[in-house]
Chain A
Amino acid sequence: MPSESAHPSDASGVPRGLAEDRVMKRVFLSPAVVILLALSIFPLLWSLGISFTDMQRGGSTIARQAAAEGIESGVGFLGLGFELTGRNYARLLGDTRLHSTVRNTMIYVFFGVCIQYSIGLGLATVLNQPFRGRNIVRVIFLMPMMMTPVAAAYTGRMFFDSNPLRSPLAHFFRELSKALQLENNISIPWFTDLGWAPVAILIIDAWQWIPFMTLILLAGMQAIPEDIYEAARVDGANAAQIFARITLPILLPISLTVILIRGLEIFKIIDVIVVTTGGGPGSATESLTLYIFEQALSNGNYGYASAIAYVLLVLVIIFAMLFLAAGRRLGGLRAS
């Protein structure tokens, strides 16, 4: 998000530099803009075009039919010359697998953000207190973020194995049920149950990314000047009141920002799912990104995959707009 702080002047007050600066300012910005235009904007528009064709790996169906009938068709390279069709978008409406992946993705985003934000905020509050060994603890808290998501997913798979001979977590549940003398051992079928499988994925993602929330919220808390707290204490506010009336409101803009960032990241989730459940059972854990990947790479349905990708893009834009609008209404994501 662009900051609103006033930009230092152009420094064009130095007359000698005027002509030179006119060139230099292009030199500075161009590489970034060129790369983004070529590798981001162009593919974006191109895939919108592809989503209106029946493009498939090895050519389009129409072209192949035409070739079989001996008709020379104008099908050229890179999808140019394919016939336009709205079929992909019509197909979206009836695709129940797509609907369940959309639902799963929304579940991941909503619950993922809620869990990660609330625990992250709690841990940041803890780390904001002075205590012995705080610096080491802060580093330890950051460690999950450094693990490759694929590796975190494998680790999660070891823990959520429901066999108590292999998984320490299942073993713990078994011992717990023994200690409580329950009739049935607690045994959670993490990856095989329709309800539990998304929970396992949410937990793995949360384990890995709560540190991110903690890190940024802590930075925000530490930027709050101490005299505000002093003043509140002098007025007789207790800790809970200070937290609710001072810390939270001041953290609101930065909270919106981290929630937005994490939410947008969760929209992209694929690696954890590939490693743990592969989308199953059924398509209970499949995310939109995984579905698009499968349509494009396993099935070679380039046109349809692009149409689904645009559904994802629209969802992401709606999500981002909600946050930006909220941020603007609540005094801007920019205020400190």
Chain B
Amino acid sequence: MTKKAKAKRRNWRSSRRPLWQSALLYAIVIFWCFIVLFPFYWLGTTSVKRPIDVSRGPKYIPYRDFQPIPDHWEEMFGSQRESTERHFRNSLVSAIGSTILSVIIGAMAGYGLSRFRYFWGRLGWDNDNIAFWIISQRFLPPAIFIVPFLLLYNFFGLVDTYAGLILAYTMFNIPFAVWIMRDFFDGLPVDLEESARVDGATRWQAFLRIVLPLSAPGLVAVAIFSFIFAWNEYLFALMLTNYQAITMPVLIAGQNNTRGIEWWFISALTLMAVVPVIIMGLLLERFITRGLTAGAVKG
């Protein structure tokens, strides 16, 4: 085969594929979309079904199989309003609070590990050892913290407070934040900071004015991960709260035993709990991929 013919064939190969492959591809895509979306659809329809339609179903299509009613949503924002708002607010405050702290502390430590040389003489640790120690904390099983946290939180009166939850979630999020940010700063050229410092900026000013603005994608990735983790966390929220600071996951899980399982109400609550995460995820999806690629592929 001549070179030209080869090139031609290659182009044909890479730009087109046999029909059966396309069919298979679309079949898999559609099948998996169904697997992913149907549970969401089911939650949505269940939240507007009458109880009888839930237990004497299954009813699939609104207006054909069953008459949708807004009662459960009205209940959530009506008679249950105080409870819904409180739990939603608790989740928001603890998630946002710990996200802000993790991003700040994580970015600082990540920057330090990327730009300075540390040596912990007594342990003989350099930057890589320190970074590894920090990330390894993320993988400790939380179960090991149950007993000490119970005792500590009781002693310091942190049980059932925002501060307590924020502190715990920050601790869990810092390792990942440091790890991502360090990788991110490693990929950022030093020249800009150096020229700023030659111009008289302090280290701190260079960090705030030059490095941070340039690392927005990394910061956003860290923020999203921290937020989602704190928003969804269950074990510590269950253990460290008992009334005032109870978060959405604990509220949802607790629906089990209060009035028997009211699937319609749980579905509405669940959708409520998903909304903030979906909004963040959809808006910032490209940041996630970019931030992750920066860390994951290289790391």
Quick check: is A1 within 8 A (CB to CB) of the other chain?
yes
B168 A123 Cβ-Cβ under 8 A? no
A2-B132, A5-B298, A150-B234 known; A123 vs B174 contact (CB < 8 Å): no
Contact A155 B43 (CB under 8 A): yes
- Whole-angstrom CA separation of A50 from B232 in the bound complex: 29
For the residues of A in contact with B, the DSSP-based class is helix
Assess the A25–B112 pair: CB atoms within 8 A. Answer: yes
- Residues of chain A contacted by B139 (CB below 8 angstroms): 264, 316, 320
Is the beta-carbon distance between B118 and A29 smaller than 8 angstroms? yes
Interface string of A1-28 (1 = CB under 8 A from B): 1111101111100100100110011011
Contact with A along B118-147 (1 / 0, CB 8 A): 100000000111111011110111111111
Closest chain-A Cβ to B178's Cβ sits at a distance in Å of 6
A242 to B249, CA, bound (A): 44
B144 touches A313 (CB 8 A): yes
CB of B8 closer than 8 Å to a CB of A: no
Interface residue from A3, A14, A39, A316 paired with B141 (Cβ < 8 Å):
A316
Please indicate the chain B residues that have their CB under 8 angstroms from the CB of A197 in the complex: none
The listed residue (A168, A268, A320) touching B143 by CB distance below 8 A is A268
- B197 contacts A17, CB within 8 Å? yes
CB distance from A331 to the nearest CB of B (A): 14
B253 touching A293 by the CB < 8 A rule? no
Compute how far the CA of A79 lies from the CA of B154 in the bound complex, rounded to whole angstroms.
13
Known: A131-B25, A305-B146. A9 touches B190 (CB 8 A): yes
A92 contacts partner chain B, Cβ-Cβ < 8 Å:
no
Smallest Cβ-Cβ distance to A138: which chain B residue: B285
Q: A254 contacts the other chain (Cβ, under 8 Å)?
A: yes
- A322 at interface by CB-CB < 8 Å: no
> What's the minimum C-beta distance from B197 to chain A, rounded to whole angstroms?
6
CB-CB under 8 A from A268, the residues of chain B are 141-143, 235
Known contacts being A25-B112, A123-B32, A271-B249, is A32 close to B186, with CB within 8 Å? Answer: no
Contact B58 A168, beta carbon cutoff 8 Å: yes
**A35 touching B292, Cβ below 8 Å:** no
Determine if B186 and A3 form an interchain contact, defined as CB atoms under 8 angstroms apart: yes
Report yes or no: A149 in contact with B203, Cβ–Cβ below 8 A. Answer: no
User: Pick the contact of B292 from A216, A320, A334 — CB < 8 Å?
Assistant: A216
Q: Evaluate contact between B274 and A2: CB separation under 8 angstroms.
A: no
Contacts A24-B203, A219-B289, A289-B142 given: A1-B277 contact, CB under 8 Å?
no
In the assembled complex, the CB of A308 is this many whole angstroms from the nearest CB of chain B, namely 8
A residues near B129, Cβ cutoff 8 Å: 2
B39 CB–A CB distance under 8 Å: yes
Query: Measured between C-beta atoms, what is the minimum distance from B37 to chain A in Å?
Result: 7
B168/A28 in contact, CB under 8 A: no
Tell me if A312 and B143 are in contact (CB < 8 A).
yes
Cβ contacts under 8 Å, B146 to chain A: 292-293, 296-297, 305, 309
Q: Which residue of B lies closest to A308 (CB)?
A: B143
A309 and B143 in contact (CB under 8 A), knowing A2-B128, A141-B32, A289-B235?
Answer: yes
CA distance A302 to B148 in the complex (A): 9
Cβ of A207 within 8 Å of any chain B Cβ, yes or no, is yes
Q: When chains A and B are docked, how far (Å) is the Cα of A330 from the Cα of B183?
A: 22
Q: Does B40 contact A (CB under 8 A)?
A: yes
- In the complex, B216 has a CB within 8 A of chain A: no
Q: Does B278 contact A (CB under 8 A)?
A: yes
Task: From the candidates B37, B116, B182, name the one contacting A10 in the complex (CB within 8 A).
Answer: B116
Whether A336 lies near B270 (C-beta < 8 A) is: no
Of all chain A residues, the one with the shortest Cβ separation from B117 is: A10
Interface residues of A in 212-229 (CB under 8 A from B): 215-216, 219-220, 222-223
B208 interface hit (Cβ, 8 Å): no
Question: How far apart sit A166 and B262, CA to CA, in the bound complex (Å)?
Answer: 13
Asked if B140 and A313 make an inter-chain contact with CB atoms under 8 angstroms apart, the answer reads: yes
Chain B residues lying within 8 Å of A309, measured Cβ to Cβ, are: 141, 143-144, 146-147
* Contact with B147, one of A141, A150, A274, A306 (Cβ below 8 angstroms): A306
**CA–CA, A78 to B154, complex, Å?**
10
Q: With A14-B198, A126-B25, A141-B32 in contact, is A36–B171 under 8 Å at CB?
A: yes
Q: Which of B114, B143, B298 contacts A292 (CB 8 A)?
A: B143
* Closest CB in chain A relative to B44 CB, distance in Å: 11
Q: Kindly state whether residue B214 has any CB partner on chain A within 8 Å.
A: no
B28 contacts A by Cβ under 8 Å: yes
Q: Kindly state whether residue B111 has any CB partner on chain A within 8 Å.
A: yes
22 examples of A-B residue contacts, CB within 8 angstroms: A1-B179, A14-B198, A32-B108, A32-B134, A36-B137, A36-B175, A39-B168, A40-B137, A40-B145, A142-B285, A143-B281, A146-B278, A146-B281, A148-B252, A233-B14, A267-B141, A293-B143, A296-B146, A302-B147, A316-B139, A334-B299, A336-B298
Beyond the given A154-B266, A264-B139, A275-B256, could you list 13 further A-B residue pairs with CB under 8 A, ordered by the A residue number? Answer: A7-B127, A11-B194, A27-B204, A141-B33, A142-B281, A145-B228, A147-B277, A150-B232, A151-B252, A288-B143, A289-B141, A309-B147, A333-B299
Q: Which residues of B line the A interface, CB within 8 A?
A: 6, 10, 13-14, 17, 22, 25-26, 28-29, 32-33, 35-40, 42-43, 46, 54-58, 60, 105-106, 108-109, 111-118, 127-132, 134-137, 139-152, 155, 167-168, 170-171, 174-175, 178-179, 182-183, 186, 189-190, 193-194, 197-198, 202-204, 207, 228, 231-232, 234-235, 239, 248-250, 252-253, 255-256, 263, 266, 269-270, 273-274, 277-278, 281-282, 285, 288-289, 292-293, 296-299
What are the 3 tightest A-B residue pairs by CB atom distance, in nearest-first order? A28-B112, A43-B148, A32-B109
